[in-house]
Amino acid sequence: MEDRIAALQTEAVAAIESATDRKSLDAARVTHLGKSGGITRLSEGMRDVSKDDRPRLGKLLNELRQAVNAALEARELALATESDAAALAALDITLPGTRSETGSIHPLTHLLDKAVGIFRRLGFVLADGPDIETEWHCFDALNTPADHPARNEQDTFYLPDGRLLRTHTSSVQVRVMESQAPPVRIIAPGAAYRRDEVDATHLAQFTQMEGLYVDRQVSVADLKGTLEYFFRELFGPETEIRFRPHFFPFTEPSYEIDIRAQALGGKWMELAGCGMVDPAVFEGICQKRGDRVFDPEEVTGFAFGFGLDRLAMNLIQIPDIRMLVENDLRFLQQFPA
């Protein structure tokens, strides 16, 4: 029996050490330690061994089992180390990594954020409305009759159901007055749409910023003071501002605003429309709401609206408005935030 144990140990350890992969190692394990393996059969043979020999042979058998298990473990570790080394050898750590791109803030967004920040300091809050508007919110409620040229099919994108892409953000004035009571002090930046032929100075979609302030005794002086403060904050204290009489159906009196600032190239620039909310607009809102909180005998207000795209173009001195929407990274990367 001793001889058989010794022979089996030599045989098993040799088989294990010569295993070149996991498969042959598993095979060696089964052959020697498995249910019908050599060691198992030897253990069964212990039954026929005399009582005196039993402790000694049992100990030998145990040592055999431990030796085989240790050999298996050592070989397994060696094989794993080998395959790790092979995998690492196939890896070229000198290859360049994948760069993560950092974005930058679009110049239009940058301008918009600054503008919003200034009006916020004056107590204006952001308001919003849908880009797809009803004719009523975009025109009728703003005192713009059906025969007004702005409503021409050639100028506006109409949907089959009669709604349209809003031609200005002034529709948000209406949405706000429908749902809130005075005092109202909002700004509403957003997209507006017109059926313009796209060229270097025109896009069919552009960005506007609307403002509305309604309270008791709001005056033209408030309008003028607010916008002067705003443009001087935005473009510098030496900015000059000019109010020219104009006409809008929903304001009376109405003005166009020109400004001149070094930041904008030092030339007069026609910029914005504004005026005192026309009493007819308040009257229409009262009818729609079914109450008199916007009674034009009680409240007054001013409104303004300006385009941001041309301002951005002047600020960053680009010759073509289409650059703002082409999403060309070479363009955008020139304006790190």
The residue ranges that bind ligand PHE (CB under 6 A) are 168, 170, 248, 251, 273-275, 303-305
Report how far residue 16's alpha carbon sits from residue 25's, in angstroms, rounded to the nearest whole number.
Answer: 6
**Please, what is the minimum distance in Å from the beta carbon of residue 290 to ligand PHE?**
25
* Cβ nearer to ligand PHE, comparing 113 with 155: 155
**Please, what is the minimum distance in Å from the beta carbon of residue 277 to ligand PHE?**
8
* Cβ nearer to ligand PHE, comparing 170 with 226: 170
DSSP state of 199: B
**Please, what is the minimum distance in Å from the beta carbon of residue 123 to ligand PHE?**
19
**Please, what is the minimum distance in Å from the beta carbon of residue 155 to ligand PHE?**
12
Helix (H, G, I), strand (E, B) or coil at 158: strand
DSSP-based helix, strand, coil % in the chain, nearest 5: 45, 20, 35
Give, rounded to a whole angstrom, the gap between the first and last alpha carbons of the chain. 85
**Please, what is the minimum distance in Å from the beta carbon of residue 101 to ligand PHE?**
36
- Say which residue the tokens 């007055």 belong to: 177
CA angle (199 as vertex; 198, 204 as ends), nearest 5: 25
**Please, what is the minimum distance in Å from the beta carbon of residue 211 to ligand PHE?**
7
**Please, what is the minimum distance in Å from the beta carbon of residue 238 to ligand PHE?**
26
* Cβ nearer to ligand PHE, comparing 234 with 278: 278
**Please, what is the minimum distance in Å from the beta carbon of residue 322 to ligand PHE?**
21
* Cβ nearer to ligand PHE, comparing 174 with 264: 174
**Please, what is the minimum distance in Å from the beta carbon of residue 170 to ligand PHE?**
4
* Cβ nearer to ligand PHE, comparing 26 with 131: 131
Strands (E) located in the chain: 125-126, 132-133, 164-165, 184-193, 205-215, 240-248, 251-260, 269-277, 300-307
Count how many residues are written for the chain: 337
Report how far residue 221's alpha carbon sits from residue 299's, in angstroms, rounded to the nearest whole number.
Answer: 15
* Cβ nearer to ligand PHE, comparing 9 with 156: 156
Pair of tokens at residue 244:
């020219």
* Cβ nearer to ligand PHE, comparing 235 with 255: 255
* Cβ nearer to ligand PHE, comparing 28 with 188: 188
Q: What angle do the packed helices 54-89 and 2-17 form, to 10 degrees?
A: 0
Helix (H, G, I), strand (E, B) or coil at 88: helix
* Cβ nearer to ligand PHE, comparing 124 with 248: 248
Helix (H, G, I), strand (E, B) or coil at 61: helix
Q: Where are the alpha helices (DSSP H) in 106-152?
A: 107-121, 135-138
Report how far residue 166's alpha carbon sits from residue 281's, in angstroms, rounded to the nearest whole number.
Answer: 18
Type of residue at 201 = T
